[in-house]
Amino acid sequence: MDKLLVIRRRNLGRSSAKAFSQLLEQEGIQSVVWRNDRSFQRALRRLGSGDYAVLRWGCTASTPMHTSASYSPSGLSLNKSAGIHTVNNKVGFLQTLTRLENQTGLLPLVVLGPTSTTESFTQVQSLQDDPSQQWVVRPATHSQGRNLRVLTTGQMISVGQSMTFNGYARPLVNKSAEYRVFVVNGKAVNVVKKTPSNSSAVAWNVAQGGRFDNVRWGDWPINVVDLACRIAPHTGLNITGIDIMVDHDDNAWFIEANSAPTLPYNSDGSFTYRQKCVAKALAYTLKENSEMFPYQQGETWRDYVHPAIQ
């Protein structure tokens, strides 16, 4: 497959999609980035005749496959809407993960909502008898480290009856590091370490300051990469950025999966290493028509890295 239509929504992923689209051109793949609120006919004309694949970038709207009789389907649809809905429903995805047999790397989860308040806060008490234990409370849908509260067990129980939003709570982790693992079809392509502007903040979100620092292959924290690759197939996404935090005992804990992980340019406008990695793995997927790699536990970075990167 040598043609790709990238669909994004307004105010999301413009520079990221543009970057890997430009890099795909260097790989011999014609790529068009298009907003979902515009007519697809112009995009189709740009791509010309023949088959092409579709990649959704954080967008769940209908594609030309459903709206245009002239669309020639390739059968290759990447980051399908079902996967985007799955990870964007933060509490629902966490519930799915906690039902898995292997719960290593998953924090205890308490689901909150106006219809389950009493049950939820009884669960809080049963999970942690220490009234000073702190919990991170978030709504079911959130992004960029916003809408976050930290409450002790005692505070949660005392204010529980007045909480009316749907959300969830997990124990606050005293973290020593946080990473984002970029995963394509179940294999890691790049690992970055988050350096926050304020290390005492609960959410180390780069959108609120700080930076991503690239981690070299040989320095990849294997427990972090292993957890990301174990969770990635459950997202239903071909391309995802999975956030993992590490506590002071070197335990890795899953935070969330992203359906449109930011892929910014360097400050001088040049391509970043992670842009190149994602583009190489995406080109491999298109050319080889490759499917999701099954999860297998490994020992070194070589066991987890995507074949396009090696």
Average pLDDT over residues 80-101: 89
The two three-digit tokens of residue 196, written as one number: 């926050």
Q: What integer pLDDT is reported at residue 244 of this predicted model?
A: 96
Average pLDDT over residues 29-47: 87
252 pLDDT more than 80: yes
Percent above pLDDT 90 for the chain: 43
Q: What integer pLDDT is reported at residue 139 of this predicted model?
A: 75
Report d(CA 94, CA 89) in Å as an integer.
Answer: 9
Q: What integer pLDDT is reported at residue 168 of this predicted model?
A: 82
70 pLDDT more than 70: no
Report d(CA 197, CA 169) in Å as an integer.
Answer: 25
Q: 92 by DSSP, 3-state: which?
A: helix
- Lowest average pLDDT, out of 202-211, 218-227, 233-242, 299-308, goes to 202-211
Report d(CA 233, CA 200) in Å as an integer.
Answer: 32
Report d(CA 137, CA 150) in Å as an integer.
Answer: 6
Q: Note the helical H segments in 80-116.
A: 81-88, 90-98
Average pLDDT over residues 151-168: 65
Q: Where residue 220 falls among pLDDT bands split at 50, 70, 90?
A: very high
117 pLDDT more than 50: no
Q: What's the whole-model pTM score?
A: 0.87
Q: What is the CA radius of gyration of the chain?
A: 20
DSSP structural state of residue 302: G
- Taking all residues of the chain, what is their mean pLDDT, rounded to a whole number? 83
Domains of the chain (ranges, CATH numbers): 3-79 (3.40.50), 108-171 (3.30.1490), 175-303 (3.30.470.20)
Report d(CA 54, CA 72) in Å as an integer.
Answer: 11
**Are the beta carbons of 210 and 197 closer than 8 angstroms?**
yes
> How many C-beta atoms lie closer than 10 Å to residue 123's C-beta?
17
Q: 169 by DSSP, 3-state: which?
A: strand
Which tops the pLDDT comparison, 9 or 254? 254
Strands 110-112 and 149-152: unpaired
Q: What integer pLDDT is reported at residue 302 of this predicted model?
A: 95
Report d(CA 138, CA 125) in Å as an integer.
Answer: 18
Q: 148 by DSSP, 3-state: which?
A: coil
Q: 242 by DSSP, 3-state: which?
A: strand
